[in-house]
Amino acid sequence: MTVCVLHVAAEMYPLLKTGGLADVVGALPPAQSQLGSDARVILPGFPAVLAGLTGIEPVAVLGHAFGAGEVRLERGLLEPHGVVVYVVRADSFYDRPGNPYLDASHHPYGDNDRRFALLAWAAARVATGADPDWHPHILHAHDWHAGLAPAYLRAFERSSGTPRIPSVMTVHNLAYQGVFPAEQFGVLQLPPDFLAVDGVEFYGHLSFLKAGLYFAERITTVSPTYAREIQTQQHGAGLHGLLQTRSHDISGILNGVDYSIWNPSTDTTIDTRYTPAKPTGKLKCKAALQERLGLERNDDALLFGVVSRLTEQKGLDLLLSAIPDIVQRGGQLAVLGTGDLALENGMKNAAAAHPGAVAVELGFDETLSHSIIAGCDIVMVPSRFEPCGLTQLYALAYGSLPLVHRVGGLADTVVDSSLENLADDLATGFVFDAFERPGIVAAIRRAFALKARRTEWKTVMRRAMTKNFGWEAAAQDYAEIYRGLRPSDQP
């Protein structure tokens, strides 16, 4: 029988995106539908979400909740895959310009607890029959924004006596937990006994993510290595105790690449298309990028690229310390990013100190992100921690060798160009171990050394481009987890 899955999330490409979560929520449901599921998504009614859907129609009036006024449920279609998207309409909560989480001065909105409690509550309502035409078998919550959904399923089961559907909580990033003052518990409309260690309480506060990790039947995260890391004190962000007790319910499923969007042979946003067999167009992409960013036009300059949120996680302070090592060797650096002021300033200063060799664009620019991934020789992802990481996967597809720190999904997807790995035909990029300047500098030196051996560079580049990180494998793994939750589906 067709398995019906409701994904609960705050963003979805191409409607609204601040990071990789959107890419995943945009790509996983169509991949699941390809395998025969009916995968739908529920999102807050942000202006960009409403603008990007077609055929929006009313489904139900959900009533007054969380002080948002009258909440309505609507349903539309997202082309080109035809994914059905439910929208929570509460304009006083969601009809705000710009970033979905932050106000104009980059501070979290003061009512984010109620805004995302509403998303989770509305999802649980869909799971309990709010759309008379569609009844999901599984609720799949993504990150803290959806973390309360499994808690509402339990609460509704208790009040109605009707068995709940099972839920899966996917952690895309344990660093963002949705922590709010415990005094806010009253507004969540949950049973009083849920404010407990066995519930939503977290060191005297409320944690939306913890609620999901406690109440969901299964927990997944976005790479096998990160699944292990989050169960350690070092990477567990205060949740490792709970995660250790749920160890048997945790799986690490690597994200995929949507090759209908990230494919150098079909990408209409890049200067020239190219393939592993005929990669000459890549050089034209490099020339176009150098031109566009005001870098010196030079085919031979080893061009390093970054497309990233500028936050502590991404380790770009380490890259800043290594810029002289790139420039002194005749290399160049192109950065596209937005985020913390200190990192933005650090990047701007580096560009000013090395005109023609370092170029920095501050902002979020989807088209330029493709141009950088295509035009660079190397894409750098020196993250302190990285649950999965998508830019290194996009880089592989475009033959831009990733240079990464050996953590999380980066460790699972990039193979260092050590002599052994080159000899064994395994190398796809550059990986450093210790998060310290000597580590990244040594990796940068390996990149220059490999570039000097043109034939070997081309071999590694072709290998990178032909790796398959399509979504099908992940969709199969999620299907397996859903089957485990619905024993009646066993063949």
How many Cβ atoms sit within 10 Å of the Cβ of residue 226?
28
Looking at 7, 20, 59, 202, which residue binds ligand ADP (CB under 6 A)? Answer: 20
CB of 249 to ligand ADP, least distance (A): 24
Longest CA pairwise span in the chain (Å) = 70
Residue number of the CB atom closest to ligand GLC: 20
The span of 228-236, 336-344, 398-406, 424-432 binding ligand ADP (CB under 6 A) equals 336-344
Sequence-ordered list of residues with C-beta below 8 angstroms from that of 178, at least 6 positions apart, any chain: 112, 113, 116, 144, 145, 147, 207, 208, 209
Under the criterion CB under 6 A, does residue 20 sit at the interface with ligand GLC? yes
- Please say whether the beta carbons of 396 and 466 come within 8 A: no
The DSSP code sequence of 187-250 is: GG---GGGSSTTTTEETTEEEHHHHHHHHSSEEEESSHHHHHHTTSTTTSTT-HHHHHHTGGGE
The span of 14-22, 95-103, 146-154, 185-193 binding ligand GLC (CB under 6 A) equals 14-22
Structure tokens at 304: 């390093």
Under the criterion CB under 6 A, does residue 19 sit at the interface with ligand GLC? yes
Q: For residues 346 and 389, which CB has a smaller minimum distance to ligand ADP in the complex?
A: 389
Looking at 199, 389, 399, 439, which residue binds ligand GLC (CB under 6 A)? Answer: 389
Q: For residues 30 and 136, which CB has a smaller minimum distance to ligand ADP in the complex?
A: 30
- 17 assigned binding-site residue: yes
Under the criterion CB under 6 A, does residue 255 sit at the interface with ligand GLC? yes
**Stretch 113-152: interaction string toward ligand GLC, x if CB under 6 A:** ----------------------------------------
Q: For residues 21 and 440, which CB has a smaller minimum distance to ligand GLC in the complex?
A: 21
Q: For residues 143 and 217, which CB has a smaller minimum distance to ligand ADP in the complex?
A: 143
Q: How far apart are CA 397 and CA 37, in angstroms?
A: 27
CB of 263 to ligand ADP, least distance (A): 14
CB of 350 to ligand ADP, least distance (A): 16
CB of 355 to ligand GLC, least distance (A): 32
Looking at 16, 24, 414, 460, which residue binds ligand GLC (CB under 6 A)? Answer: 24
CB of 181 to ligand ADP, least distance (A): 27
Distances (CA, A) of 230 to 9, 180, 378, 476: 21, 21, 29, 23
The span of 13-21, 28-36, 275-283, 395-403 binding ligand ADP (CB under 6 A) equals 13-21
Structure tokens at 399: 């033959």
Under the criterion CB under 6 A, does residue 387 sit at the interface with ligand GLC? yes
**3-state SS class at 37:** coil
Q: How far apart are CA 404 and CA 391, in angstroms?
A: 11
Structure tokens at 147: 């973390």
* Strand pairing report for 303-310 and 332-339: parallel
Give strand pairing partners of 218.
168
**Of the candidates 234, 236, 186, 221, which has an alpha carbon nearest to the alpha carbon of residue 206?**
186
* 338 phi and psi angles, rounded to 5 deg: -155, 150
Peptide bond into 324 cis (omega under 30): no
Q: How far apart are CA 444 and CA 448, in angstroms?
A: 6
Looking at 43, 169, 222, 372, which residue binds ligand GLC (CB under 6 A)? Answer: 222
Span 357-386, contacts to ligand GLC by CB under 6 A: 386
Find the angle CA(129)-CA(131)-CA(132) to the nearest 5 degrees. Answer: 75
Looking at 3, 6, 15, 21, which residue binds ligand GLC (CB under 6 A)? Answer: 21
Give the one entry of ligand ADP, ligand GLC, none that residue 225 binds, where binding means its C-beta sits below a cut-off of 5 to 8 angstroms depending on kind.
none
Q: Specify the DSSP element, H or E, that contains 7.
A: strand 4-8
Q: For residues 164 and 282, which CB has a smaller minimum distance to ligand ADP in the complex?
A: 282
CB of 175 to ligand ADP, least distance (A): 9
Looking at 388, 401, 415, 475, which residue binds ligand GLC (CB under 6 A)? Answer: 388
Give the one entry of ligand ADP, ligand GLC, none that residue 222 binds, where binding means its C-beta sits below a cut-off of 5 to 8 angstroms depending on kind.
ligand GLC
Q: How far apart are CA 384 and CA 413, in angstroms?
A: 16
CB of 366 to ligand ADP, least distance (A): 5
Q: How far apart are CA 117 and CA 425, in angstroms?
A: 50
Give the one entry of ligand GLC, ligand ADP, none that residue 15 binds, where binding means its C-beta sits below a cut-off of 5 to 8 angstroms depending on kind.
none
Q: For residues 296 and 366, which CB has a smaller minimum distance to ligand ADP in the complex?
A: 366
Q: How far apart are CA 426 and CA 456, in angstroms?
A: 12
The span of 153-161, 332-340, 352-360, 422-430 binding ligand ADP (CB under 6 A) equals 332-340
Q: How far apart are CA 96 and CA 375, in angstroms?
A: 35
Under the criterion CB under 6 A, does residue 167 sit at the interface with ligand GLC? no
* Strand pairing report for 205-207 and 179-181: antiparallel
Under the criterion CB under 6 A, does residue 308 sit at the interface with ligand GLC? no
Under the criterion CB under 6 A, does residue 174 sit at the interface with ligand ADP? no
Span 341-400, contacts to ligand ADP by CB under 6 A: 364-366, 369, 388-391
- Please say whether the beta carbons of 367 and 374 come within 8 A: no
User: At which residue do the structure tokens 């050996």 appear?
Assistant: 406
Name the residue type at position 298.
N
Give the footprint of ligand GLC on this chain (CB under 6 A): 19-21, 24, 172-173, 222, 255, 386-390, 409
Which residue numbers belong to the known binding site for ADP-alpha-D-glucose?
17
